[in-house]
């Protein structure tokens, strides 16, 4: 399948061990106090089935991590991008990742809504990702997401990366498939506003959809903020199926 790979800035960073990763502690476990952050550069892999998925699911977290972990490297993969959607994906990623020391944007042109039926080609692409980055953190789709493309991306993420910290993000939609996440990233009002602003400005092709509105994004951020043990008004939430402590 056709693809575009854009390396904006490239500077190799030392890889972190699992023990190092624990000290980064971007997350709040729902039933425990906040884990303190260490200011270490991170290698981050973000995977989305469609343009805007990553931004909706973890855009605020990425903005905050790049602020608190200077020198971080990000590989950003969008699997179904064509035409105007490809342009939006590339422009949006560049803005969200402006705080990174090194970024690599990959846009693939698999057919939207048909990822399960292009399994061989999609799996072959996933097999290349460990050669691109050895990530400390991976952001991918939620395992129980009702969108078929999202489920395939999550399945292949876990199939490909067996010794990495994977966090599954959520996408609000008609299907009503939001679950009970167990890890939280508290966001300031400023970061939350920036996330929503960039979403609304970056994806004009989606603004005609009744769900793609500011109040949708603020609403989910507010609900997760209520659930988070931190006192911030807003938060993003994730599903962490396996977390290893050393």
Which domains, ranges and CATH numbers included, belong to the chain?
A: 3-238 (3.40.50.10320)
Q: pLDDT band at 229, cuts 50/70/90?
A: confident
Which ranges of the chain would DSSP assign to H, the alpha helix? 18-24, 53-68, 83-96, 119-126, 148-160, 189-202, 214-227
Beta bridge partners of 43: 73
Q: pLDDT band at 2, cuts 50/70/90?
A: low
How high is the pLDDT of residue 40?
87
Residue 227 pLDDT greater than 90, yes or no = yes
Share of the chain above pLDDT 90, in %: 81
Which helix H or strand E contains 35, and what residues bound it? none
Residue 14 pLDDT greater than 60, yes or no = no
How high is the pLDDT of residue 174?
95
**Nearest-angstrom CA–CA distance, 118 and 128:** 16
Which of 13-17, 194-198, 233-237 bottoms out in mean pLDDT, i.e. has the lowest?
Answer: 13-17
Residues 175-196, mean pLDDT to the nearest whole number = 97
**Nearest-angstrom CA–CA distance, 188 and 72:** 20
Residues 31-52, mean pLDDT to the nearest whole number = 81
How high is the pLDDT of residue 231?
81
Judged by DSSP in three states, 222 sits in: helix
Q: What is the pLDDT of residues 194-223, one digit of tens each?
A: 999 999 999 999 999 999 999 999 999 999
How high is the pLDDT of residue 165?
93
**Nearest-angstrom CA–CA distance, 123 and 77:** 14
218 HSE (CA, 13 A, CB side): 10
CA dist list (Å): 5 to 89, 107, 166, 185, 217: 12, 6, 23, 29, 29
Contacts 24+ apart (CB under 8 A), 174-180: 174/211, 175/146, 175/147, 177/142, 177/144, 177/145, 177/146, 178/220, 179/142, 179/144, 179/239
pTM beyond 0.85: the answer is yes
């Amino acid at each position: 399948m056709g693809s575009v790979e854009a390396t904006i800035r490239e500077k190799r960073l030392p890889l972190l061990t699992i023990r190092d990763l624990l000290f980064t502690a971007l997350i709040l476990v729902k039933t425990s106090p906040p884990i303190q952050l260490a200011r270490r550069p991170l290698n981050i892999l973000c995977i989305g089935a469609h343009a805007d998925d990553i931004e909706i699911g973890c855009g605020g977290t990425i903005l905050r991590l790049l602020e608190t972990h200077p020198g971080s490297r990000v590989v950003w993969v969008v699997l179904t991008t064509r035409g105007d959607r490809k342009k939006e994906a590339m422009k949006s990623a560049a803005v969200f990742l402006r705080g990174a020391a090194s970024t690599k944007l990959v846009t693939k042109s698999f057919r939207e809504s048909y990822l399960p039926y292009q399994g061989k080609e999609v799996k072959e692409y996933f097999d290349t990702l460990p050669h691109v980055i050895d990530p400390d953190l991976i952001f991918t789709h939620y395992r129980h997401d009702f969108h078929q493309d999202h489920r395939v991306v999550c399945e292949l993420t876990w199939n490909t990366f067996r010794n990495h910290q994977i966090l599954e993000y959520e996408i609000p939609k008609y299907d009503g498939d939001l679950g009970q996440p167990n890890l939280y990233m508290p966001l300031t009002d400023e970061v939350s506003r920036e996330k929503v602003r960039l979403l609304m400005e970056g994806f004009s092709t989606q603004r005609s959809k009744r769900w793609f509105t500011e109040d949708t994004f603020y609403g989910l951020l507010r609900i997760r903020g209520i659930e988070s043990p931190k006192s911030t008004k807003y938060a993003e939430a994730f599903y962490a199926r396996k977390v290893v402590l050393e």
